Structure 1
C-alpha cells in the first residue's frame, strides 16, 4: 500500500481498526451514556480498577480515544467526553450474530452460576463452539465488558466479574 492509498482511507476506518479492547469498551460506555458529554471520565487508576486492567492498558485506551476525538484531556490531566459529532470513529451497533452470542453467553454464565474470577474460553474457541464469526464473539464480549459483567485483560482470557440478568443487558442494546 502506498502513502497515497493510506491517505484515502477514512480516519474512522483507521481508528476503528486500531482501537484496543479497553478503548472499545470505554467508547461503548461513552456512546451508551455511561459517561455523558462534558463529564469527566475516570483517570488511569480508576479506569484500570473499573475495567480490571493493568494501568498501561488504561493509559493506552485513554490515549486512543483522545486521538479519535472521543475524549479531550484537560490541563489538570483529567479526561472529558466530547460531543459525538466531534468523534472521528464510529460506534458499533450490535449485529444479529453478536446479539445471539451475547444472549447465549449470558444464559450459559447464569446456568453455570459462574462465580467472579471464572475464565471464559478464547474468542476462537467460543466462535467455533457457537458456529459464528470471531468478530461477533469479540463484540459480544465487549458489550459484556461495557456492562461490567466480564473483564477483558490484554493477552488473557475474558474473566467474569459479576452476574447480570439477561433482560438488563439486552434492553440496553438499542444503541446510541
Structure 2
C-alpha cells in the first residue's frame, strides 16, 4: 500500500514533523457523507450522527499524534494547543454564524427569529447542547400557541395550513424593514 506523504503549508506550519496524510483526509471526507445525506433527507441515512462520531475519532487520532509528538520533544503547551484550535475553528464559526443571521433575518418569521436568536447566542457561548436540550423544536409548543392566538383558528390538523397562511400574512407586515 502506497501512502502519499507531503508537507502541508500555511495552516500546519507549526507541525513540521506531521506529514500530510491523504488517506486520512479521504476517510474524513467519507465520514461526513452520511451527515450530509441525512440533512439532505436521503432515505437510508437516518443515522447521520455515526459520520460525526467517525469524524471525531479520526480528528482525535490526529490530535493525539500532534500532542504525543510535542510531549516527546518536551514542547507541549496547553495554551498553544488551544490557540491553534481557535485559529483554525473561529474564522469558519463566525462566518457561518454571520451568514445564518443574515439568512434568518431575511427568511424567518418573528417567532422563529426569536428561537434562532437564542440558538445563535448559545452557539456563540458554546452552549448549544444545553439550549437544544431545553428547547428541542420550535414547531412544538410556542409556535402552536402563536398559531392558536389567531382568531378563528385552532391547532387541529385540518386548520394548520390556513393558520400558517394567516400567521404568515400577519407577520410579514410586522417585520422590521418589511
User: Shorter-chain TM-score category?
Assistant: under 0.3
Structure with the higher helix share, 1 or 2: 2
**Higher CA-based Rg:** 2
Query: What TM-score, normalized by structure 2, do the two folds share?
Result: 0.26
Greater per-residue strand proportion: 1
